[in-house]
Chain A
Amino acid sequence: MKIGLPVKLSLRAAALLYLAVLVLFPLGAILYRTFENGFLEFWGLITTPAAQSALQLSLLIVAIVVPLNVVFGVITALALVRGRFRGKGIVEAIVDLPFAVSPIVIGVALILLWGANGWFGGLESLGFTVIFALPGMVIATIFVTLPFVVREVEPVLYEIGEEQEEAASTLGASSLQTFFRITLPAIRWGLTYGIVLTVARSLGEFGAVIMVSTNLPGISQTLTLLVSSRYEDFNQQGAYAASTLLMAIAVIVLLLMTALDKKRTNQ
């Protein structure tokens, strides 16, 4: 299709204008308003005690969620790819389920399962509080990030096939040896990609976490909760600063993903 120059230019202009109004100008505005009063004010706002504790809590959640997702995600992927059993389609669908569920609905579901009046409410009378405590925030984060590792590792497992694993086993390697010497090195980039996605989503999750957190500054606030509570407390500048910090993390994640993607495809 040969498009005349005027049409071509107006299509280009319309597309770019839409992106500018929706994404680029707002990004410019938040950067401008964050650094309006200089970098020092920004630095001060992201290093207040509440902000530091929010960053620590966010990182703590990541530190708990990632290993759990790696271990259980790889086991799930192996079971799905290497195992042959009935109902595989159902298990595949369950893995994808978290993507289809609204974060708020996830929060409600967790409250009804783990909360004081929920199915597992008995735990709370034993002194193990899940909802409105750290375990609840961890479980909520695991729910939303569960598909990433499985979905990134699965295709790689299909790709590498079983021959090498079988060879290793024929030569006398145990299952664990086969896994750590053959399978794990082969899936490492897919796994890394899954971990990056998990970390990004863990740091960025808001809806599911706010439902199960007491949202107290310095105690149970993650970075995303800090952003919203600062804005609601009319501390706009503080909210913009915390947002810019999260944005910087997101951009780093994007760059990392692009680099990893090259590595994955080169392999």
Chain B
Amino acid sequence: MGGFVQLTPESYNPPKLPIDTMTSANHGGCVLVETTRLYVGSLSLKQCLRRCCRLKGSLSMDSHSIAIHVNGTRIVADVEPRVLLVHFLREQAGLTGTHIGCDTSQCGACTVRLDGATVKSCTVLAVQADGHAVTTIEGLADPARLTPLQQAFHERHALQCGFCTPGMIFAAQALLDYVPDPTEAQVRQALHGNLCRCTGYQNIVDAVLLAAKLQRTEDLRVVEAT
């Protein structure tokens, strides 16, 4: 793997999340960040929260007023502290292109950009994104003007049911942003966190390689979608 950038969240230069504010009075003194990893199964969500807050000696399910810049639009909403960013995007912002395919952060269908970094939006609380900027698939392009990567997905038949596709696009674009000339093995490794059950990945890999080629040759066509 000579020269390959291991694509861990750190390597994406993630934004500094407002973790410090989590324990402030502003957020009810609830230590939410530690629960993020715990309450991934929604049935035990409240239990986890209770357990965590009991340890820390506080429990607040009060709503918080937050504002998140989504695709350039400031969206203000009152959310419970347990609301995940993905739920905020789908339910408060009404942007349903970000999908939920699992409850354990395995599938990557909810991948979005947070202040330019690629994140699974089920691993971020909505309150953590307060004041930050999110780009969802709806904000990336519209059907009549696809990005080169999206056009490559179309040309290489890299999607079937389309459910994993928005997350796949963000994960693949993150690779291309850092590694403009990836090998096939690098593409496969970079997409490791995004599950697809339809395509067997081959056409996705080929689409990413094609997009890399298009970008390298500066053939940044903005093609009219068929």
Report whether chain A binds chain B: no
Residues of B within 8 A of A (CB): none
